[in-house]
Structure 1
Amino acid sequence: MRIAELESRTGLGRHALRFYEREGLLVGICRGSNNYRDYPESAVKDAILLQQLQSLGFSLLEIREVLDAMRASSIDCAQGARLMAEKRTAVEAQIANLRKVSKVLMREQQRLEDRAARQNLPKP
């Protein structure tokens, strides 16, 4: 697939996709006789995962570790399992923190809605 299709399917811009390619995070990209990049179907899944992991605060090095482990045909399974457990623990900690923040925001929203109701202001 061409980069325009990859952009539309992942929501990432071409500059981000090319950066990931240069960094070796997107792999399997071939060039046609016209010198256009041809991205494999797996690039969609990889690019979306990259975006998700980055949004959770994972560094490019950590993302590379995860992707390399997932792509390896033969890996030390115990080491790979430890890596995945570490990353999963980090994600679960972020989820717990996000839930705490969500509760604070919900309480503040409720306080403001109650105040607006007492002042006869319309709800948003």
Structure 2
Amino acid sequence: MREAKEDIRYQDYDIPKRCFVVPFLSAVHLNETVYEEALNFKPWRWMIPENQAIFSFLALFAPFGGGARFCPGAELARLQIALFLHYFITTFRLWNQLKEDRMSFFPSARLVNGFQIQLRRIPDDDRK
């Protein structure tokens, strides 16, 4: 949600100052000029190379939108990440960065070189 800081004219719309704008994010996937048969259920459309280029530029994947239709696997994903991090942190030490890296914030926050590291396993006797 964004608040207009001044009166804005966008295409055929007048957005008054202090008005809140809420984007309908999942509508990105319904654009017939971007995706052929966008209104039909075709989850494999993102496997098409041409669509992958569009998708990476938009950096937005929200087929379920938010609210009541939020991704049904979101809680499971959070649990899996927590379990992975616990195992990872309690099993490995001595991280050596193999290649210099830097952050990029377009189209989304990521490490340019993928943060390549070398790990050493903690011996079972030393793990708590």
TM-score by length of 2: 0.29
More strand by share: 2
Which structure has the highest helix share of the two? Answer: 1
Q: TM-score, normalised by structure 1?
A: 0.29
